[in-house]
Copies of this chain bind each other. A is one copy, B any other.
Amino acid sequence: MDKIERLPILRLTREGEQDTEDIVTRELPVTLILNDQEVVTLPASPSDLDYLAIGFLTSAGLIKGKDEIKKIAVDDQRGTVRVEAGAGDEGPPQPPTKTESQTKISAGEIFALIEEFQRFSQVYRATGGTHSAALGDAKSILLFSEDIGRLNAIDKIFGECILKDIPTSDRILITSGRISSATLLKAARRGIPILISVSAPTDLGVKLASQLGVTVIGFARGERMNIYSNGWRVETS
């Protein structure tokens, strides 16, 4: 299913008006159904809905891991993802634990990663209407996703990691969206030690990051960045 659509528009500037078309990001309400029970309906971009479902359900503690998953059926016309999962490890979701990762990254590597991240963001550049997320190491981006929801984009990354057995615990998560408590908790549950945003954190995001040992970097753009927590992972000289 296409992630974009062309719509007729009237473009106005001080110089005049023009009938033209604009590339608009697509939005699909996606209902996640786990073992025949509706869990949630998320407004989402219609791509990688299997990753979105697994990332969301795992982050919410409703699935513990890949071994539990028996079947995933995506219907991107109706906007449903049906997941069948066996009750593996019963009990409440695990709270995130403090990361002990000793991974480090240099300031120059961060600037290079952000540059690569922005080259990847194709739907955003076409439509201005999506968020992006990426998983990387200090050298390069390994996985990339886009979605109209900033948290959906992160769920898609982690869903792909779970389904493909890609480790996350010494890696870097990059997001175009703000770092709120929800962002931070999703990252911490996957053991991410370094979380980088092109935009701002909230105070609660930073406080949780300090407690959970996560390095939070905000406003990473062009030639500057702010380090909000656990700055020892960033080598500055």
Contacts and interface: CB of A to CB of B under 8 A. Distances in A.
Contacts of A226: 9-12, 22
A114 interface: no
Contacts of A227: 9-12
A200 B9 contact: no
Contacts of A22: 218, 226, 228
A136 interface: no
A205 interface: yes
A30 to B, nearest CB: 12
13 contacts: A5-B203, A7-B203, A9-B228, A10-B227, A12-B107, A17-B236, A24-B202, A24-B206, A25-B203, A27-B203, A127-B200, A148-B178, A148-B202
Interface of A: 5, 7, 9-14, 17, 22, 24-29, 43, 107, 127-129, 148, 178, 180-182, 199-206, 218-219, 223-228, 231, 234, 236
